[in-house]
Amino acid sequence: MNKTVADLAGRWLKRAPEHLSELEHKVLQSAIDRKPVSLNVNDSVAHSESRGERLADGIARVGGSWSFILGFLGFLVVWTMLNAWLLGSGSFDPYPFIFLNLVLSMLAAIQAPIIMMSQNRQAERDRIDASHDYAVNLKAEIEIMALHEKLDEIRFQEIILLREQVQQLTVQVQRIADSSAPQSPAR
């Protein structure tokens, strides 16, 4: 049975082939060719990342961790204690800690865009994952529909076979009934 994408699109997706997306066309073709559509999206994305993108992901991973937050909180406490109480009037950055505010502002100015870059890349990965999930789900639905068609065809063939066997048995029973019926005597 030679299937085409147009046949399957009309039969299973109830759409004309020209209304299919590229992904749907690819999934239908993979069903015809009996090839899988699943792949490891992380591998394909990881190979296309630049060094800067990997660095941005690493900075976002560290900057968004509890160890960074607790470590930075410890740094702020030490800075404040050193400059407010221990060094007294000869402190490096006396109260109101103007230099510390400058360092924090610069850190935030640099860290925020890097984290946003990482989030944008994560959003792109999520879109790729969603598209891949759609393809795998569509392929699974198509395969299930194909199995239903095959089961229906098998059931139909069995019904035809049973019908033929019932007709043959009926003919045999009729012959047996005719041969064993008492014949009326000839007058």
Report how far residue 147's alpha carbon sits from residue 141's, in angstroms, rounded to the nearest whole number. Answer: 10
Are the C-beta atoms of 142 and 27 separated by less than 8 Å? yes
What is the DSSP code (8-state) at residue 83? I
Provide the residue count of the chain: 187
| Prediction pTM value | 0.64
> Per residue of the chain (187 residues), what is the pLDDT tens digit?
457 888 888 887 888 888 888 888 888 888 888 888 887 777 777 778 888 888 888 888 888 899 999 999 999 999 988 888 777 777 788 888 899 999 999 999 998 998 899 899 889 889 989 999 999 999 999 999 989 999 999 999 999 999 999 999 999 999 998 888 777 666 5
Backbone angles phi, psi at 167, to 5 degrees: -65, -40
Tell the residue number behind the tokens 């997706």, with chain if given: 13
How do the domains of the chain map onto residue ranges?
A: 1-35, 36-178
Query: Per the structure block, which two tokens stand in for 108?
Result: 């935030």
* Per-residue model confidence (pLDDT) at position 78: 92
